Amino acid sequence: MTSTPQPISPLGKTRDGFADACAAHGHSPHPARAAYTRFFRERDHDALPACAAAKIAPIVNRLDETCEEGVTTKFVQRLDRPGTGRLADQGVPHLDIESVIIPMLGRTGRKTHTLCVSSQVGCAMGCGFCETAQMGLVRSLSASEIVGQWWAARELLIEEAGGAGAPPVFETHHTPNNQTGGTPVPPSDVPPKIDNIVFMGMGEPLDNLDEVLAAVACLADHTGPGMPMSAITISTVGRVDGLRRLIDVVQQTGWKRLGLALSVNAPNDEIRDQIMPLNKKWGMGELREVMLDLVAVRGSRKILFEYVLIPGVNDAHEHAIELARWLQPFVRTQSRGHIGMLNVIPYNPRRDSPWPAPSEESVEAFVGWLRAEGIFAKRRRTKGRTQMAACGQLGAPDIRKRNYTPVTTNQTVG
């Protein structure tokens, strides 16, 4: 009995990759290329050839929280049901992924939107402060499921702007990574759009690196979504094997400006071992070494370091001094500017958290101590905490509550 081949999805593929896949199914690659651009630019599913289809996971829930800069929106997309596997047997009827649209106001007053995407359902890294880690790793997402989050977020913004059902208007930027063609339109006529993407949602991106890189290549394709590579950031808890792979990736044409972020979260190995089990495999010395190797091949592009400030764990004055010493190779010297920036993130309590959120006074004090040591440090503004949409709070509670042993990822990175 011959099985029906799965439709080819443009989500997660570059235009050339999509055209090649269509050609392998007997379709001319030239119309496929045109259909790819029309699909992403005009949201035209009907333009796709017969061998292709784009499946966007439906949004089944959204939570909004108003902040000074607008509305932070967490939306939940539902994947295929688990079927008859272990999750279904233990009362979990479906798999959900969570993403967050974060409003930003720049110095000029221009409003932008950053999308925090997930790369996995759950996570295998086991960080004690993170809600997603309490789920364990359920499965990794495909590139099309990752790009599908961008598609869904864009649809939400277009709908809220009153443009439901109408083709979006794309602003033309005269840069290689964001060419849209057509006639430029005044900025006032451009509907809200996703300006930045950060892989800081559910999952560890370097634990699913092949699919993440395929998603980034699609998102940055100037004939498709057209996101500038500099507007995409991959964040990691510190898989050194994956970081070493990225050393080769960022030296490829068009990839040098890919944003990279490292969650440090501790001033020394003793504390990091306690809250981030991965540190027992790759300690802070090896981690700093690979980050310096990345700096060496990325030119002037800064590395973003992240530090979740947890009361009574890593927030003392001596911790700030110790952290500043670890960051010393990344600070300003007489011959160059800062090559690293530190974001201090006030801890957002997960469900059943053993720690509270830090006080504003303690956050300001910690940032001040770092700056006194010469560190380029900023405080991450807290958004979405009351809706479990802030950093470290994403996670499906029905999966977390199951009687289930987290799986060990069988994917290799590097």
Give the mean pLDDT of 236-248: 97
Q: Average model confidence (pLDDT) for the chain?
A: 84
Nearest CA to 385 out of 72, 135, 101 is that of 72
Q: What is the pLDDT of residue 189?
A: 53
| 255 alpha carbon, distance to own chain's centre | 16
Strands 137-140 and 120-122: antiparallel
Question: What value, to the nearest 5°, has the Cα angle with vertex 411 and ends 25 and 295?
Answer: 100
Give strand ranges (E) for 264-376.
303-309, 340-346
- Is the pLDDT confidence value at 408 over 50? no
Which pLDDT value is given to residue 82? 59
Provide the pLDDT for residue 396.
54
- For the cut 80, the answer to whether the pLDDT of residue 166 exceeds it is no
Query: Among the residues of 178-335, which ranges form H helices?
Result: 209-219, 240-249, 269-275, 284-298, 317-326
| Ranges 14-18, 83-87, 311-315: which has the least confidence | 83-87
Lowest mean pLDDT among 117-126, 283-292, 346-355: 346-355
27-67: pLDDT as tens digits = 999 999 999 999 999 999 999 999 999 999 999 999 888 88
What's the pLDDT at 183?
42
Of all residues in the chain, the percent with pLDDT exceeding 70 is 81
b/e string for 206-243 if b means 16 or more Cβ within 10 A?
bbbbebbbbbbbbbbbbbbbbbbbbbbbbbbbbbbebb
Stretch among 117-121, 184-188, 202-206, 316-320 having the lowest mean pLDDT: 184-188
In which band, very low, low, confident or very high, does the pLDDT at 5 lie, cut at 50, 70 and 90?
A: confident
> Quick one: 402 exposed, middle or buried, by C-beta within 10 A (0-12, 13-18, 19+)?
middle
**By mean pLDDT, which of 197-206, 242-251, 375-384 is the weakest?**
375-384
Q: What is the pLDDT of residue 403?
A: 40
pLDDT digits (tens, 9 = 90+) for 384-405: 445 544 465 455 555 544 443 3
Q: Residue 397: what pLDDT?
A: 56
Per-residue pLDDT at 174 exceeds 50: no
In terms of Cα–Cα distance, which of 132, 111, 151, 112 is closest to 202? 132
Find the range with the poorest average confidence among 46-55, 128-137, 202-211, 280-289: 128-137
Does the pLDDT at position 410 exceed 80?
no
SS3 state of residue 371? helix
Q: Are 402 and 360 in contact, with CB atoms under 8 Å apart?
A: no
Q: What backbone phi and psi angles, to 5 degrees, belong to 407?
A: -80, 160
- Residue 228 pLDDT: 97
Does 178 or 76 have the greater pLDDT score? 76
The three-point CA angle 213-276-353 to 5° equals 110
Residue 3 DSSP SS3 = coil
Residue 202 pLDDT level (bands cut at 50, 70, 90): very high
**Residue 157 and residue 111: Cα distance in Å, rounded?**
13
| 62-79 mean pLDDT | 88
Please tell me which residue in 116, 127, 130, 391 is annotated as part of the active site: 391
In which band, very low, low, confident or very high, does the pLDDT at 6 lie, cut at 50, 70 and 90? confident
217-227 pLDDT per residue, tens: 999 999 999 99
Active site residue 130: no
Q: What is the mean pLDDT of residues 276-298?
A: 96
pLDDT band with cut points at 50, 70 and 90 for residue 162: confident
By residue count, the chain amounts to: 414
Which domains are assigned to the chain? 7-55 (no CATH), 56-400 (3.20.20.70)
Cα gap 393→318, rounded to integer Å: 28
- Closest CA relative to residue 152, chosen from 186, 110, 201, 187: 201
What is the pLDDT averaged over residues 351-367? 90
Residue 360 has a pLDDT of 92
